[in-house]
Structure 1
Amino acid sequence: MQKGIITVVGKDQVGIIAKVCTYLAAKQVNILDISQTIIQEYFNMMMIVELSSITDEFGTICEELDKLGAEIGVNIKLQHENIFNKMHRI
């Protein structure tokens, strides 16, 4: 199974989760796990997703998520799980 990690960070507002999840469903990205929190007025979400059935190139999805984030005022990043793990090793 090919997995990815999506992070979403920014000022909290209505509809962030809905917009991100709607986009992912349209691209056949399955959400395996999700965690979100709001600290004061800042929204932080992390998702583990399955990429095995995606309909577009990985790079295209990364770019479109970046654009979606800009539209809704948050920072959205998608990384392959193995890259994320290497970057966050202690």
Structure 2
Amino acid sequence: MSQRRAIVSVIGQDQVGIIARVTNILAEKNVNILDINQTILNDFFTMMMLVDVTEFENLDCLQHELANLGESLGLTINIQLAEIFKAMHRV
């Protein structure tokens, strides 16, 4: 079985614990983080993670849980299969 990868994006006002809270959800679901990049620009937080979702048939449950976390923190958190992400952002 080939590896399925997804992109997790997190955007919003910087605050303590964002990375910990997001990565805790991923760890609870046994999702391995393959790569991570985050930056803060004038108190504006952005993070992109490449994750292994090979064990997931459907990302809806994980998306729902991440979106709920985002809502509680005032952030936008999304997960999308890497191939879809690439197709949508092709120049």
Q: TM-score range by the shorter chain?
A: over 0.9
Aligned residues: 89
Aligned to 2:17: 15
Unmatched 5+ stretches in structure 2: none
Runs of 4+, deviation exceeding 4 Å: none
SS at 2:55's partner residue? coil
* C-alpha separation in 2, matches of 1:51 and 1:26: 13
**Counterpart mapping for 1:43-82 below 5 A:** 43-54=45-56, 57-82=58-83
**Offset at residue 63 of structure 1 (A):** 1.1
**Residue deviations 1:33-75 (CA, integer Å, cap 9, x gap):** 0000000110000000000134x84111111111110011110
TM-score (norm 1): 0.94
| 1:71 partner SS | helix
How much is the aligned-residue C-alpha RMSD, in angstroms? 1.2
Aligned-pair identity (%): 45
Aligned with 1:82: secondary structure? Answer: helix
